[in-house]
Amino acid sequence: MSKSLNFRATLLSVIFLVLMLGIWEAMNQAPLKTRALSEYELLMGGADQEARVPPPSAVIKLAVSELSHPFYDAGPNDKGIGIQLAYSLYRVLSGFFLAALIAIPLGFLIGMSPLMHKALNPFIQVLRPISPLAWMPLALFVIKDSEASSIFVIFICSIWPMLINTAFGVANVRDDWINVARTHELKAFKTAILVILPAAAPTILTGMRISMGIAWLVIVAAEMLVGGTGIGYYVWNEWNNLDLSSVIFSILMIGMVGMLLDLTLSSISRLIEYQE
């Protein structure tokens, strides 16, 4: 039954994809309408015809060309998509793991201690809703380095879901399991490692998945602001070059990499799932 459902779902997804691409391609074959140009378009030297999004055929052709040489480096503003994604992944993973080093131990402390929960909760509730990009000007002023500032912004946006989910998972470990640990005279550290951590692990991994998704969203916007390298800068640079095919291609690559990151954490989550 499960295999049959998966096959039908895959088949339906392929049909939807073919339909969407077919409609998109067909819309680009229709005749263009002439119209008056805006002042911006006149300055950019546009023709007096309706602008269109490039068709799938143009995007696919570009994708084949880009992916055949993803790591070329022809100068500061001309690097392959592989290099751009590598820079973005480095920043995301650096900020993400730095956040995990702080969020998970602190989440344990908050989850195990009602006193620490009440003391730290006001700070969490004030800082958590702040947009990560709002920290960028302050980070640039204090750190004075665009890459380190981008990593700091990823750190800030990653820490809250991990912290909150860890504290929630630890606080909701069954009392029976804690009592068994006490019966065996386990100390607090051993109880945390041998009992609480395995029990709270699925909730912690859920927080890490949420953090990774947010981090990948934020890095694109952060790189648009600071420039230099990265997939966010690549999108903005191609827009400035009025190359919409490259913009669409980079958007698709952002989605694909984000999906792979989520699938990786999802696979790890399935390995530690348990049934009571």
Q: Distance (Å, rounded) from C-alpha 95 to C-alpha 272?
A: 24
- As a whole number of Å, the CA-based R_g of the chain is 24
Report the predicted TM-score, pTM, of the whole model to 2 decimal places.
0.84
The owner of tokens 């790890």 is 268
Question: Nearest Cα to 233, choosing from 94, 88, 70?
Answer: 88
- For position 47, what pLDDT does the model report? 47
Q: SS3 for the chain, per residue?
A: CHHHHHHHHHHHHHHHHHHHHHHHHHHCCCCCCECCCCHHHHHCCCCCECCCCCCHHHHHHHHHHHHHCCCCECCCCCECHHHHHHHHHHHHHHHHHHHHHHHHHHHHHHHHCHHHHHHHHHHHHHHCCCCHHHHHHHHHHHHCCHHHHHHHHHHHHHHHHHHHHHHHHHHCCCHHHHHHHHHCCCCHHHHHHHHHHHHHHHHHHHHHHHHHHHHHHHHHHHHHHHCCCCHHHHHHHHHHCCCHHHHHHHHHHHHHHHHHHHHHHHHHHHHCCCCC
Phi, psi of 225 (to 5 degrees): -75, -45
The torsion angle over the Cα atoms of residues 173, 176, 182 and 184, rounded to 10 degrees, is -120
The torsion angle over the Cα atoms of residues 168, 169, 175 and 178, rounded to 10 degrees, is -120
- For position 235, what pLDDT does the model report? 92
- For position 75, what pLDDT does the model report? 77
The owner of tokens 């990265």 is 230
Taking 50 as the pLDDT cut, the residues of the chain under it are 47-49
CATH of 79-271, one of 3.30.1490.190, 1.10.3720.10, 1.10.10.10, 3.10.180.10: 1.10.3720.10
Which positions ≥6 away from 78 have C-beta within 8 Å? none
Q: Distance (Å, rounded) from C-alpha 104 to C-alpha 122?
A: 18
Whether 106 and 164 have beta carbons less than 8 Å apart is answered as no
Dump pLDDT digits (tens) for 27-48: 777 665 555 555 555 555 554 4
- For position 49, what pLDDT does the model report? 46
The domains of the chain are located at 79-271
